[in-house]
Amino acid sequence: MTGTLYIVATPIGNLGDFSLRGQQTLAEVDLIVAEDTRHSRHLLNHFGINKPLLSMHEHNELGRVDSLVERMLSGDSIAQISDAGTPLISDPGYLLARGAREAGIQVTVVPGPSAPIVALALSGLPASHFSFEGFLPSRSGPREQLLRDLLGETRTMIFFESPRRVVDSLRSMERIFGPSREVSVARELTKLHESVHTAPLGELLRWIEEEQNRQRGEFVLVVKGADEESQEEELVEAYRIVELLARDLAPRRAAAVAAEITGVRKNLLYRSLLE
Ligand code: SAM
């Protein structure tokens, strides 16, 4: 009999959110694989669970996969947890889950909290279609390039951000999306000082800059998607600009410059010129 890989979600703040099935699973497996074993030991102690822990983080995950898969093939069951929330979601676990699946090992999830979903549900923004973008790049150049690429995204967008960069990222968003785009800042979710503030970017920046405490803790930023109508207007304007530029520049160059100015994808502008 081969073992099973359990991907187990743990609380993102409030320990009361740890599911009964999550606790039972950790108490029954042969080994718990955790991101930071000292951090997870606290959680296990709180729930009276005493099981061997092995560290697996982004720097050693690849090297661990084969031996963990071997262990499961020889009958051991393993639970994978991360520091908080659902493993794999901007956390380690993907390589192990894939390795286990490829080896024919049964993989199952014990679901539970995940910060992006909690933030989305609290944001007051459309929640049926969304795009999870993970952490924003820390340098402003790549960050603003990524945001420019997302200018036409009509689905709600979800980003992780650190307290050190939350204001800079909101400023980048204001530069690219404009001051009237609605954004929700979700902080310290499920914890004592949980707060969620949703407002147009210009207003939101004034609000967060007003008080240092509003910049502390863990953050998720939820951004309303572009509305279809304004997206159409932006496209019409971008086509006008690329055509003007193409009077003096080669089509590829005109498309590249127009993409820089408008944030519309270069290929789309290039194709519009050819057509
Ligand atoms: N896998 C985790 C999950 O499912 O929630 C996310 C892991 S990611 C490495 C950690 C980031 O999630 C933090 O930097 C923060 O952006 C966000 N986060 C985690 N817990 C949070 C909380 N309680 N409140 C707000 N954001 C949180």
Averaged pLDDT score across all residues of the chain: 95
Ligand 1 atom 8 nearest Cα = 90
Residue 231: pLDDT band (50, 70, 90) is low
HSE, side-chain direction, 13 A CA sphere, residue 95: 16
Checking if the pLDDT of 265 tops 80, the result is: no
Query: Does 185 lie in the same domain as 239?
Result: no
Query: Does 206 lie in the same domain as 120?
Result: yes
Query: Does 201 lie in the same domain as 125?
Result: yes
Is the C-beta atom of 81 inside 6 A of ligand 1?
no
Give how far Cα 155 sits from Cα of 125, 199, 236, Å: 10, 17, 20
134: left (phi over 0), alpha (psi -120 to 50) or beta: left
Give me the mean pLDDT over the 102-124 stretch: 98
Q: Of the candidates 90, 185, 172, which has an alpha carbon nearest to the alpha carbon of residue 139?
A: 172
Query: Does 237 lie in the same domain as 189?
Result: no
Query: Does 236 lie in the same domain as 176?
Result: no
Choose one of 226, 246, 264: the last residue of a domain.
226
Is the C-beta atom of 5 inside 6 A of ligand 1?
no
Residues whose CB is less than 8 angstroms from the CB of residue 28 and which lie 6 or more positions away in sequence, other chains included: 77
Q: What is the number of the ligand 1 atom nearest to the C-alpha of 86? A: 4
β-sheet bridge partners, residue 77: none
Q: What CATH number is associated with residue 205?
A: 3.30.950.10
Is the C-beta atom of 218 inside 6 A of ligand 1?
yes
Measure 92 CA to ligand 1 centroid, in angstroms. Answer: 13
Query: Does 149 lie in the same domain as 127?
Result: yes
Query: Does 174 lie in the same domain as 106?
Result: no
Q: Which of 3-17, 46-60, 172-186, 258-272 has the lowest mean pLDDT?
A: 258-272
* pTM, two decimal places: 0.86
Note whether 170 and 215 are within 8 A (CB): no
Is the C-beta atom of 82 inside 6 A of ligand 1?
yes
Q: For residue 118, with 0-12 CB atoms within 10 Å meaning exposed, 13-18 middle and 19 or more buried, which class applies?
A: buried
CA 93 to chain centre: 15
Residue 50: pLDDT band (50, 70, 90) is very high
Choose one of 81, 98, 113: the last residue of a domain.
113
Q: Determine the structural domain holding residue 270 and report its residue range.
A: 229-274
Percent of the chain exceeding pLDDT 90 equals: 85
Instruction: Count how many domains the chain has.
Output: 3
Q: What CATH number is associated with residue 38?
A: 3.40.1010.10
Query: Does 82 lie in the same domain as 133?
Result: no
Query: Does 208 lie in the same domain as 195?
Result: yes
Place of tokens 């991101």: 35
Choose one of 91, 113, 135: the last residue of a domain.
113
